[in-house]
Amino acid sequence: MRKERPPGKPPLHIGHRGAAGHAPENTLASIRTAIGFGVDLVEVDLQRSRDGRVVIIHDQTVDRTTNGKGKVAARSLAELQALDAGKGERIPTLEELLELAEGRVGLMLEVKEAGIAELTARIVRQSRFSGPLIYASFLHKELAGGEERRSHGRHLGPFWQAPERPGCGSHSRRGLACRPSVYDGHGPARVGPPSSRFSGLCLHRQ
């Protein structure tokens, strides 16, 4: 399938889970590697620890990516960061990611757990992260608004007041919606082929 993009605009280069395949996924080493490759944004996955910290890990369990066993939500941050996430790396927090990325690369933050979008937005706002920022989730209710996100809507841009478009009034159970767009303050701009991977995204450019 041919990819589509706005005329005259280059495609976005996005590092998946940092630079998975070149360094342990969703670790600071992986983020640094992706930055070294010159990507526009790095995509990472967000879960929550037992003590309420937002951490960077894809799965609901630590089994696949660390030397531990069990659910992410059942462990404290200290317990999670005591694990080896590959080559001596540890599971980073969202705050550590924002500090590393500031001034170096944009971010795509994928919310993997229900109920953490508001906390995520608060952490991003408090960090004063100034780079390009995409929020993404297959949990569409996580992207539906909230007091904290409305209070700093300038960071999320007009996604939260995205204009109605034909075919966008509902989502299927698989998360498929309409042709994907991002909202950058100048109206929708298609950045990829019709795909569930691009539904529910918003791009904020400072």
DSSP state string for 159-198: GGGPPP-TT-S---TT---SS--EE-SSSEE--SSS-GGG
pLDDT at residue 86 greater than cutoff 80:
yes
Task: Name the residue range of residue 64's domain.
Answer: 14-157
pLDDT for the residue 138: 83
Selected catalytic residue, list 16, 22, 155, 171: 16
Say whether 16 is catalytic.
yes
- Is position 125 within any domain? yes
- Helix (H) or strand (E) segment spanning residue 134: strand 133-136
What CATH number does residue 143 fall under?
3.20.20.190
How many domains are there within the chain? Answer: 1
Q: Which of 68-82, 139-153, 166-180, 190-204 has the lowest mean pLDDT?
A: 166-180
Q: Which of 22, 58, 155, 171 is catalytic?
A: 58
Residue 108, pLDDT > 80, answer yes
